[in-house]
């Protein structure tokens, strides 16, 4: 069960800023400031509007990378949202050995490494902080969350390109389902907007070049899409065993019902245009959750706004939805990257936060940037205004795909149990 949500994104600090920004159709994509980005072919990104270091005690913030700062801030919000004391597990009356952390990231410590290299060139070896190496490794966000909340069960890190956050949540589902843990803080974080990373993506021709219209640059499923917008942020969710959540009277957003993985085994960066690998991950997520295509009520698409990526995903999703049989109403699809850009290792986790809210609140935020949908994608993309979540069906599929052919899909299920009905009646 998902009982707590936390996020820090280009739309602001906290889940309310994220949700309200999505519902209102706002964009968090901005021009990149600073001389280090002068001369770059792409000078826009989805950046968090507030310095995360200012939201933490100074001594603590100085020992964290920006990605770790994002992760700790989002985890505190999720922990508090689940009804726990923000001071930690012990103060919340929970056995810390039965709680875990599972965080996905790709190169979250990249800015620390870039700064260390600059200091080495400018000041020599004595100018490099001894914290540079430990702050750079990808496992630091998970470790910092565990330290902050005194979680001793485990602190694991998943690195599978842009599927990292989704896979981290999937692994948390398994750890709870198999009885190893009662509760896991799971999600993803990323803060890798550096000149070299931006230049590399631009050289790949993967980024949108709409520098003059940043708020309209990211265009998922649009006919005129021209690449993704790099972004940063974090999304963390509290996943909890059902009996544990019920025993303490927790609010349940939805059920984390299952997940699926696959590998394209096709190309270092390009997706398999057939969509076969994605279809396999979608089918595995449905099977793992005990669902069938007819149960799908909504799809939260990966949809980075690259020409080939969006088409491959749409092809795969269409194949699954067509298996529902006829006549069947169209399943609404949405993509949050129009608002946020592509948050890399955090993308799937933030999308999962939004999907949980969609199931809980009963309406779907619109996809912005898709003013002229690509007919070749053949999907019912929610656009312009929010749409009520259909009553038929109870499963949301959340897609994440990464360079190298990493495919991960979450299946979240609407809570339709007696306790939900009793809560609504109350």
Q: What are the tens digits of pLDDT across the range 12-37? A: 999 999 999 999 999 999 999 889 89
In the predicted model, is pLDDT for residue 214 greater than 50?
Answer: yes
Question: Tokens representing 149?
Answer: 């909340």
DSSP classification of residue 153: S
Give the single-character DSSP code of 220. Answer: T
Q: Indicate if 302 belongs to the active site.
A: yes
pLDDT at residue 329, as a whole number: 81
Point out which residues pair with 183 in neighbouring strands. Answer: 99, 240
**Torsion 268-273-277-278 (CA) sign:** positive
Mean pLDDT (whole number) for 349-378: 97
How far is it, in rounded angstroms, from Cα 288 to Cα 284?
6
Q: Which run of H or E residues covers position 239? A: strand 233-240
Mean pLDDT calculated for residue range 396-400:
98
What confidence tier does 420 reach under pLDDT thresholds 50, 70, 90? very low
* Residue pLDDT, tens place only, 260-298: 999 999 998 888 999 999 999 999 999 999 999 999 999
For the ranges 17-26, 50-59, 108-117, 363-372, which has the lowest average pLDDT? 108-117
Of 342, 370, 377, 398, the active-site residue reads 342
pLDDT, tens digit (0-9, with 9 covering 90-100), for 45-61: 999 999 999 999 999 99
> In Å, how far are 30, 119, 195, 323 from 44, measured between CA atoms?
5, 26, 12, 40
237-263: pLDDT as tens digits? 999 999 999 999 999 999 999 999 999
Residue 327 preceded by cis peptide, ω within 30:
yes
The answer to whether 363 is a known catalytic residue is no
Contacts of 212 (CB under 8 A, 6+ apart): none
* Strand bridging mode 332-334 / 380-381: parallel
pLDDT for res 270: 87
The single residue listed with the structure tokens 């599927």 is 163
Question: Which residue in 230, 254, 298, 302 is the catalytic one?
Answer: 302
- pLDDT above 70 (res 233): yes
Q: Is 162 a catalytic residue?
A: yes
Is residue 129 pLDDT above 60, yes or no?
yes
Helices (H), 150-238: 164-177, 195-203
């Amino acid at each position: 069960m998902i009982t707590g949500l936390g996020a820090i994104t280009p739309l602001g600090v906290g889940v309310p800023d994220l949700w309200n920004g999505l519902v209102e159709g706002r964009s968090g994509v901005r021009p990149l400031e600073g001389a280090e980005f002068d001369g770059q072919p792409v000078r826009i990104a989805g950046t968090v509007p507030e310095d995360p270091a200012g939201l933490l005690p100074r001594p603590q913030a100085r020992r964290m990378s920006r990605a770790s700062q994002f992760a700790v801030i989002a985890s505190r919000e999720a922990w508090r949202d689940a009804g726990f004391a923000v001071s930690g597990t012990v103060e919340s009356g929970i056995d810390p050995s039965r709680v875990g952390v599972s965080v996905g990231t790709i190169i979250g410590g990249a800015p620390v490494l870039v700064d260390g290299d600059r200091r080495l060139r400018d000041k020599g070896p004595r100018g490099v902080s001894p914290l540079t190496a430990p702050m750079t490794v990808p496992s630091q966000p998970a470790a910092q969350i565990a330290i902050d909340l005194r979680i001793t069960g485990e602190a694991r890190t998943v690195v599978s390109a842009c599927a990292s956050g989704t896979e981290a949540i999937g692994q948390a589902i398994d750890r709870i389902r198999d009885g190893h843990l009662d509760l896991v803080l799971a999600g993803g974080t990323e803060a890798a907007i550096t000149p070299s990373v931006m230049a590399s993506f631009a050289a790949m021709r993967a980024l949108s070049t709409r520098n003059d219209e940043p708020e309209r640059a990211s265009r998922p499923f649009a006919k005129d899409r021209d690449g993704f917008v790099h972004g940063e942020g974090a999304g963390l969710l509290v996943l909890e065993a059902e009996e544990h959540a019920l025993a303490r009277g927790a609010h349940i957003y939805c059920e984390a019902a299952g997940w699926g993985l696959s590998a394209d085994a096709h190309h270092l960066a390009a997706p398999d245009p057939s969509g076969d690998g994605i279809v396999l991950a979608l089918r595995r997520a449905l099977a793992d959750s005990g669902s069938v295509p007819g149960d799908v009520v909504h799809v939260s698409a990966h949809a980075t706004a690259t020409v080939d990526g969006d088409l491959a995903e749409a092809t795969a999703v269409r194949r699954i939805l067509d298996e529902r049989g006829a006549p069947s109403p169209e399943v609404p699809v949405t993509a949050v990257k129009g608002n946020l850009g592509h948050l890399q290792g955090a993308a799937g986790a933030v999308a999962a936060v939004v999907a949980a809210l969609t199931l809980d609140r009963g309406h779907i935020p619109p996809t912005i940037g898709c003013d002229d949908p690509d007919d070749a994608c053949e999907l019912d993309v929610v656009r312009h205004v929010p749409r009520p979540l259909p009553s038929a069906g109870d499963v949301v599929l959340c897609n994440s795909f990464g360079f190298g052919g990493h495919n991960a899909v979450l299946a979240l299920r609407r809570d339709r149990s007696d306790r939900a009905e009793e809560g609504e009646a109350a």
